Amino acid sequence: MKTSEALMTDEMIMVAVKNGDLQQASVLFDRYHRKIFNFLARMTMDRNLAEDLTQNVFLRMIKYRNSYREGNRFESWIYQVARNIFSDHYQANKNKHSGFIDIEKMSDKIEDHEEGAQQDERERLLHRSMALLSEEQRELLVLTRFQQMKYEDVAAIMETSVANIKVKVHRAIAKLRDHYFELEKI
């Protein structure tokens, strides 16, 4: 990365992209593709699909660059694009698949020799519990817990208040806990 690129904020780079300097989009891709992929992988629970959707996010970023409003946070805007891509995919494919989510496709585990089996079981239970949550609850937990986004940023992405996000996250965690302990009994 060039020194000048390192000094530029995401917002400055996006303004350059918006104004026609499409080469700058690669800087934003470098900065955000892992975060967006992780978000989509946790939402879809399918790594291959998440890769495809991540590419679509950055293609849409370029196609709809004029919708970016100067002065707004780029991170919030790109996550909104990712949410829209996920929603579009989900709507287009909801009748093609059953409600079953293949948890095994999400496995990205590193085998640990001593407690690998226990850790695998805990991960399996967590993924199964996440799959039982509503789409909104899963998205909130992915953004706040896995992506470690601040409530303020999540509120901006979801176009609601911080207080509303806090309540919804609290409820989602309680629901996740309930699902987890129910599955653990089985």
Q: For the segment 58-106, what is each residue's pLDDT rounded down to a tens digit?
A: 999 999 999 999 989 999 999 999 999 999 998 887 665 444 444 444 4
* SS3 sequence of 99-151: CCCCHHHHCCCCCCCCCHHHHHHHHHHHHHHHHHCCHHHHHHHHHHHHCCCCH
115/125 Cα distance (integer angstroms): 15
How far from 88 is each of 63, 81, 93, CA to CA, in Å? 16, 10, 9
77 and 143 co-located in one domain: no
Looking at the fold, whether 131 and 156 belong to one and the same domain comes out as yes
Q: Is residue 24 part of a domain?
A: yes
Q: Helices in the chain by DSSP H: which ranges? A: 3-7, 10-18, 25-44, 47-63, 74-93, 116-132, 135-141, 151-158, 162-185
- Among the candidates 98, 124, 146, a domain finishes at 98
The reported pLDDT for the residue numbered 13 is 96
User: 113-167, pLDDT tens digit by residue?
Assistant: 445 677 778 888 888 999 899 999 999 999 998 888 999 999 998 999 999 999 9
Same domain, 87 and 124: no
Angle at 147 between CA 40 and CA 2, to 5 degrees: 90
Tell me: do 50 and 121 sit in the same domain. Answer: no
Q: How many domains does the chain have?
A: 2
**Which domain covers residue 131, as residue numbers?**
113-186
Give, for 1, the enclosing helix (H) or strand (E). Answer: none
Q: Residue 110 carries which side chain, given as an amino acid letter?
A: I
Give the number of other CB atoms < 10 A from CB of residue 52: 13
Residue 140 domain-assigned (yes or no): yes
Residue 5 lies in a domain: no
Does 120 share its domain with 81?
no
Determine the Cα–Cα distance for residues 139 and 169; give it in Å rounded to an integer. Answer: 10
**What is the end-to-end Cα distance of the chain in Å, rounded?**
51
Is 168 part of any domain? yes
pLDDT band at 111 (very low <50, low <70, confident <90, very high): very low
Q: Please tell me whether residues 87 and 167 are part of one structural domain.
A: no
Assess whether 94 and 119 both reside in one domain. no
